[in-house]
Structure 1
Amino acid sequence: MINFGTGGWREIIGDGFTRENVRRITQALCERMAAEGVEDRGVVIGHDRRFLSAEATGWAVEVFLGNGIPVTSIARPAPTPMFMWTVRDKGCAYGMAITASHNPALYNGIKIFTEGGRDAEVSVTDEIAARANALRDADVVAVAPEDVSGHPLLTVQTSLNWYLDAIIDKLDMETIRHRHLYVVLDPMFGVAQTSLQTVLMTARCQVDVINDRHDTLFGGRLPSPTAATLEPLRQAVVERGADLGVATDGDADRLGVIDDQGHFLHPNQILVLLYDYLLDGKGWKGPAVRNMSTTHLLDRVAAAHGEVVYEVPVGFKWISAKMAETDAVIGGESSGGLTVRGHIAGKDGVYAGSLLVEMVAASGKKLSELYADILAKYGVMEMIEAAYAFAGERKADLEHRVFVQHDLPEFPVPVERVRWDDGCKVYFAGGGWVTIRFSGTEPVLRVFCEMPTLAEAQAISGLVASHLGLN
């Protein structure tokens, strides 16, 4: 059964991720395009460095061409945000990325983009999934593999330069050039090396790269930039005396950062730093958008500048939509994705990392000093993130208990209100909160808690886990 989550369709290779399912999803998208009368506007397709990504791109291209749809195929592994940018740049109706983003190496998947290079809405992916599940193999129309090369409807694109130039044009390159920053880059065996290295070296940064070889097992680590997975980057920054380390996940739409002292900067901290920089350092005006599991410290930054923060459900498509509606300056999530007004409507680790380097260069300070300034201005909030795997049969029980019976523990602090539209979020008097929700990309239940102190966050997170029998 094909189902799309908050970050696209992701399945274990050889189990759910098969040639047949890739072809069915592509055929379903082709039929949607035909029903909308947008076949002539074509699609953009690209892939990451995962096992079978290049081959799956070929399977999809065969189906697009079989249905008479013009295809721009990115011929080399490239960042997912580059595909989104190309959809917008070429005015295509849809786009597709073969990637499982930050999932473990045994997964692969598909992300679908709509007009303007935006993540497809739930209504779109639900319809595509329903049609794909109804298709038989005989319903899929495709050209033979040997007929792909030289096909009149196929454009093969090898250059990333248009996307990179669009990022460079948005940066204060002159300021970066004269700071002579030393950056260590960790693409986590993914697709960001060429893009980020090109941008930073164009700005005259000294750039060292680790974990750059093609390794479909991602060095045995999860290709997601966390404190644990970025330990090699932390060591490299400290040992080499670099100004900072920048990492991206497997398909380069998420960002992780190590400061000059070897401290991991959580995505929440990066989001707050960049919003403050865009308002104070660049003089921008406008609100911010965050999802329900992202730091409320962002709200303090907004309030200090007479702005507001809009809260949306988890899933970057909600952030993109609210940013477009409110002309927000920045939008982001605690998992490491963010975007900035004027760029693509989806998350982009390449642009976010480049903008962070600009921020450090423009400040004349170390990154560790910049975050110390943030805490001095806006105070401290501490977050605990926990993910609990569960057997398949437990999900229904947990869903009923929490989201139907509303069975929550007795909290040690006053509850202000509870939100139930995307999992559960409990807001506490005094500014803290806790969320309980099932992941849209992995079989886990996530519990996030943010409080004024780490001890309070640990206590409430532990209380939820104990109450639900998750420990």
Structure 2
Amino acid sequence: MSEKILKKQLFGTNGVRGVIGKDMTPQLVMNIGLALGTIRKGKIAVGMDTRTSGPSLKSAVKAGILATGCDVVDLGILPTPALQYIVKNHFDAGAMITASHNPPEYNGVKVIDSDGTEMDDEETIKLETVLFSEKFDIKSWEEAGNEECIPEMINEYIEAVANSFPKINHDITIAVDPGSGPACLTTPPILTKLGCRVHTINGRPDGTFPGRLPEPSPEGLKGLSELVISTGAAFGVAHDGDADRAVFVDDTGEYLEENEEFALMQKYLCSNDSEGVIVTPVSTSKIVETIAESTNCRIVYTKVGSIYVARKMLELSGNGENVLFGGEGNGGLIFPRHQHCRDGGMSAAAMVALLSKEGKKLSELRKELPPRHMLRDKIFTENPDKVTELVSNAFTTEKLDLTDGIRINRKDSWALLRPSGTEPFMRLFVEAKTKDEAEEFKAIIFKSIQ
């Protein structure tokens, strides 16, 4: 009999999330705190984004952690990467109350390990086992944990990001849209410390998100584009609800597709160093391979999810590899010399350094990238394994990659079909040099599963 493979049941690739009062309740979050304190002893840092449900859930997770005898340090409102940076340097674990890019009615929990990365699958399964069994290590009154509130620790993160790059010696204006999230407290001061003139929109913390939704979509960033043009900014940067991602609009107000963002940053970091490794999921544009060839670097692919990218980067670095950069083609960039997690504030600062070095406008730099066109779609199915089998049988002569779902690799194009971790559909990515080629490839895939 084959060994049963355990899988996460509650936590997805980026924590657990749900609608407040329905899937996400203070009772559940307190139990997560109890489970975390049962498997991780010591001092645990807790933070939250700006959502209106944040204070109640933060109180709940702290109650659980304290009941297990662990000490809690409340860091207040801050970005997820700020909590991760502080945990890495000072604490035994962390819990972030956030639903990232989800709408205001959602909230959730991300659990952070002592190295600052999100807890890996193996440890998360241990946490879930304790959570579902309710075998919590609840201490007696004399062993209960203590709490401190130190919100000013956020300044350590701000200083660390700002000090990662040289201060610019020329005038540059940046437009910032924190989306009323915790980046209101970090990205403007980071850029100011670099010597930038900063203008903001949606720059006051507000959990109702009055200006736009937490997901920084092209449609929601029209105000940022207008601010870029009216102020003559070099670019605009926007964050999601917990600021672990950053997306950009260029100096003309045009949205910079996230794979272009990744490629430009990859090119910048590789040109500053000797040959090294770039780590990214199988859902990232083939542009990364073109850039890698021109800069004498190699690409290592992982499953989709920033935690898999971060863990692979740590593994390769531990084996003596020169890991230069990583992340996803969704605005989630990882700078390993700073920390092994997605960091929107670091991405904003790095874009300033990139433009300062190149001496060109962002709109000019993006035109130098090789042309690519990516299509995204969904295939609704209750049986993703069957769909994967049909596609595999239809493309037996192609180069197939089963790292995550099934990826079909051709010389100038590729397609990826992978199951959603939370909903009954499969995500489809198709990329080619032109839109017509991508549409033709997509049609062949749909035909193979009909």
TM-score (norm 2): 0.90
Q: Match for residue 75 of structure 2?
A: 74
Per-residue CA distance 1:44-94 (angstroms, 9 max, x = gap): 11100113112211111112112110111112x11000110011110x221
Instruction: After superposition, give the CA deviation of every residue in 1:124-156 in whole Å (9 maximum; x if it has no partner).
Output: 1122123212228xx684999xx9xxx972121
Measured at CA, do residues 250 and 462 of structure 1 come closer, stay the same or move farther in structure 2, by a change above 3 Å?
farther
Partner of 2:343: 348
2:390 equivalent among 406, 409, 430: 406
2:163 paired residue number:
169
Q: 1:143 to 1:461 in 2, by over 3 A?
A: farther
- 1:375-408 Cα shifts (integer Å, max 9, x gaps): 2xxx2222122346x5xxxx423x24213x3346
- The structure-2 alpha-carbon separation of the partners of 1:2 and 1:402, relative to structure 1 and needing over 3 Å to count, comes to closer
Task: Report the alpha carbon displacement of residue 211 of structure 1 after superposing the two structures with TM.
Answer: 1.4
Q: Which structure 2 residues correspond to residues 148-297 of structure 1 after superposition, within 5 A?
A: 153-159=146-152, 160-173=154-167, 176=168, 178-219=169-210, 221-280=212-271, 282-297=272-287
| 2:394 aligned with 1:420 | no
Q: Secondary structure at the match of 2:382?
A: helix
Partner of 1:382: 373
1:447 to 418, 422, 428: 428
1:132 is aligned with what amino acid? Answer: L
8 Å CA contact retained: 2:15, 2:110 = yes
Task: Give the corresponding residue for 1:396.
Answer: 382
The answer to whether 1:44 aligns with 2:45 is yes
Judge conservation of contact 1:63–1:140 (CA < 8 Å) in 2: no
Shift of 1:214: 3.6
- Change in Cα spacing, 1:74 to 1:450, as seen in structure 2 (3 Å) is same
Superposed counterparts of 1:429-440, under 5 Å? 430-440=411-421
Instruction: Give % identity.
Output: 29
Query: Is 1:112 matched with 2:111?
Result: yes
Tell me how far apart the structure 1 counterparts of residues 59 and 24 of structure 2 sit (CA, whole Å): 14
CA distance in 2 between counterparts of 1:134 and 1:321 reads 28
Shift of 1:468: 5.3
Question: Contact (CA 8 Å) 1:45, 1:97: kept in 2 or not?
Answer: yes
Query: Could you tell me how far apart the structure 2 residues matched to 1:143 and 1:44 are?
Result: 22
The Cα of 1:224 is off from its aligned counterpart by 1.9
- Once the two structures are TM-superposed, the CA of residue 421 in structure 1 deviates from its matched residue by 3.8
Q: Secondary structure at the match of 2:399?
A: strand
Counterpart secondary structure, 1:351: helix
Q: Which residue of 2 aligns with 1:36?
A: none
- The one-letter code matched in structure 2 to 1:363 is E
> Across the two proteins, how many residue pairs are aligned to each other?
436
Q: Which amino acid aligns with 2:326?
A: G
Task: Note the residue ranges of structure 1 that are not aligned, 5 or more in a row.
Answer: 34-38
Whether the aligned pair in 1 keeps the contact of 2:104 and 2:213 (CA below 8 Å) is yes
Q: Which residue of 1 aligns with 2:93?
A: 94
C-alpha distance in structure 1 between counterparts of 2:185 and 2:137, whole Å: 36
Contact 2:392 2:406 in 1 (8 A): no
Deviations 1:171-199 (A, max 9, x none): 111xx2x2211111001121112211001
Distance apart, 1:450 and its partner CA:
1.3
Letter in 2 for 1:73: D
Question: Is it true that 1:5 corresponds to 2:4 in the alignment?
Answer: no
Distance 1:71-1:449 versus aligned 2 partners, 3 A rule: same
Q: Tell me the C-alpha RMSD between the 2 structures.
A: 2.5
From the superposition, tell whether residues 28 and 460 of structure 1 become closer, same or farther in structure 2 (CA, over 3 Å). same
Aligned partner letter, 2:390: H
Distance 1:400 1:155 in 2: 49
| Secondary structure of the structure 1 residue equivalent to 2:220 | coil
The match for 1:337 is 332
Q: 2-side partners of 1:103 and 1:319: how far apart? A: 22
Instruction: Give the drift of 1:289.
Output: 0.6
Could you tell me how far apart the structure 1 residues matched to 2:10 and 2:270 are? 40
Q: In the superposition, relative to structure 1, how do residues 196 and 24 fare at CA in structure 2: closer, same or farther (>3 Å)?
A: same
SS of match in other structure, 2:107: strand
Instruction: Compute the displacement of 1:463 (Å).
Output: 4.7
Q: Deviations over 1:281-328 (max 9, x none)?
A: x33541101101001211121122222100000111111122123331
Q: CA separation of 1:119/1:171 partners in 2, compared to 1, >3 Å: closer, same or farther?
A: same
Shift of 1:103: 1.5
Q: Measured at CA, do residues 110 and 372 of structure 1 come closer, stay the same or move farther in structure 2, by a change above 3 Å?
A: same
CA contact (8 A) 1:79 1:252 kept: yes
The one-letter amino acid paired with 1:348 is D
CA distance in 1: counterparts of 2:186 and 2:444, whole angstroms? 44
**Unaligned residue ranges in structure 2 (runs of 5+):** 1-7, 318-322
For residue 371 of structure 2, give the secondary structure of its aligned residue in structure 1.
coil
TM-score normalised to structure 1 length: 0.86
Alpha-carbon deviation of 1:109?
A: 0.7
The letter of the residue matching 2:284 is T
2:439 — aligned with what?
458
Q: Confirm or deny: 8 A CA contact 1:2 1:133 kept in the other structure.
A: no
Q: 2 CA distance for matches of 1:187 and 1:236?
A: 13
Change (3 A) 1:284 1:14: farther
